[in-house]
Structure 1
Amino acid sequence: MAKLVFSVLMIVVWWTLHALQMDEEVAMGTVHEAKRAIDRAAHAAAQQLDRNKLEMGVLSLQPESARGAAWDYLRGNLALDAELNPLPGSFLREAADVRAFVVVNEDEVFPYTYRNSQYGYEVTLARPGVVLIVHLEYPRLFGVLAPVEWDLKGSAELVY
């Protein structure tokens, strides 16, 4: 009888550990998918040329268009609504929080090094570009465990 009880307890422990491992793997898949979405959003934003300045031979980004393109890509790739809250079917459960959106334009001296000590991020841009930092939270399957949170960073520069 003792062996039977021990076997049942070990099966429960094994299933619990297996479920925790699967939860961790889903979280890692989420962070990789979200990082790709952040990178795509930064790249889309960095391609929003200011056509008026381009006519004068100046490479510059249009900040409003860049912001709009970044938000469109975030919404599309992370399945978010207009306020960056998750839509039904999204792998996120909490809203995406854009912590930094910086358009580095022609008024800087290139190569330009952007530093953000709060998030431990540094990137050097050779031409106008965009820096994007988004905070995401992944809820754990087990309510006992705290959610996993990431500050995902992306940057891109104008490609011509």
Structure 2
Amino acid sequence: MYKLLLLTLMVTVWMTLHLQQTDEEAAMKLLHQGKRAVNRAAHAAALQLDRQALSEGIIRIDEAAARAAASSYLAANLQLSGNDWKPLPNSPLREPIQILVFQIIDEGVSFPYVYRNDEYDYEATLRSPGVILIIRMEHPRIFTATKPIGWEIKGVAEQVVG
């Protein structure tokens, strides 16, 4: 009788550990998906040059076009709706993302430029005009007893001048 009770207990412990490992793997997959989305969005934003300034030989990023491109790429890659960032039914997210930082670095600084953000513990060196993007994203846990995992995902992209 005690062997049957021990077997039941061991199977319960094993299943719990297996589900926790599966949850951790799903979280890491979502983190990598979020990082790729941020990198793509920052890159798309950095490519939005102001054509008028470019015709004068000045490399300047068009802020409105850059924001629109970054928003479009984030929404498409993370399966989010419009500007409210709410997840669509097929999205791996359950909570909206938050855009914490969207900053364009172009005129008014000398390159190479060291961008520092102490609030999010981020530093990047830009050698040409570029875009800094930081978002907050949370992974819903399988076990409701544990807290969701959240990340501040950082990305940077710059123009290739040369």
- For the aligned pair, the TM-score class normalised by the smaller chain equals over 0.9
Quote the sequence identity (%): 49
Normalising by structure 1, report the TM-score: 0.98
Q: What SS does structure 2 have at the residue aligned with 1:49? A: coil
Q: What SS does structure 2 have at the residue aligned with 1:142? A: coil
Map of 2:131 onto structure 1: 130
Structure 2 segments unaligned to the other structure (5+ residues): none
Residues 70-125 of structure 1: CA deviation (Å, up to 9, x unaligned): 00000000000011110001000000100000001122111111110000000010
Structure 1 consecutive aligned stretches of length 4 or more whose deviation exceeds 3 Å:
none
Q: Counterparts of 1:133-148 in structure 2 under 5 Å?
A: 133-148=134-149
Map of 2:56 onto structure 1: 56
Given that residues 47 and 159 in structure 1 are in contact (C-alpha distance below 8 angstroms), is that contact kept between their aligned partners in structure 2? no
Whole-angstrom CA distance in 2 between matches of 1:122 and 1:61:
21
Q: What SS does structure 1 have at the residue aligned with 2:71? A: helix
Map of 1:34 onto structure 2: 34
Map of 1:155 onto structure 2: 156
Map of 1:117 onto structure 2: 118
Whole-angstrom CA distance in 2 between matches of 1:75 and 1:158:
23
Letter in 1 for 2:117: N
Does residue 22 of structure 1 match 2:22?
yes
Letter in 2 for 1:21: Q
Given that residues 111 and 126 in structure 1 are in contact (C-alpha distance below 8 angstroms), is that contact kept between their aligned partners in structure 2? yes
Normalising by structure 2, report the TM-score: 0.97
Structure 1 segments unaligned to the other structure (5+ residues): none
Q: What SS does structure 2 have at the residue aligned with 1:150? A: strand
Alignment length (residue pairs): 160
RMSD over equivalenced CA pairs, Å: 0.7
Whole-angstrom CA distance in 2 between matches of 1:149 and 1:24:
12
Residues 5-64 of structure 1: CA deviation (Å, up to 9, x unaligned): 110110011001100000000000000011000000000000001000000011110011
Q: What SS does structure 2 have at the residue aligned with 1:18? A: helix
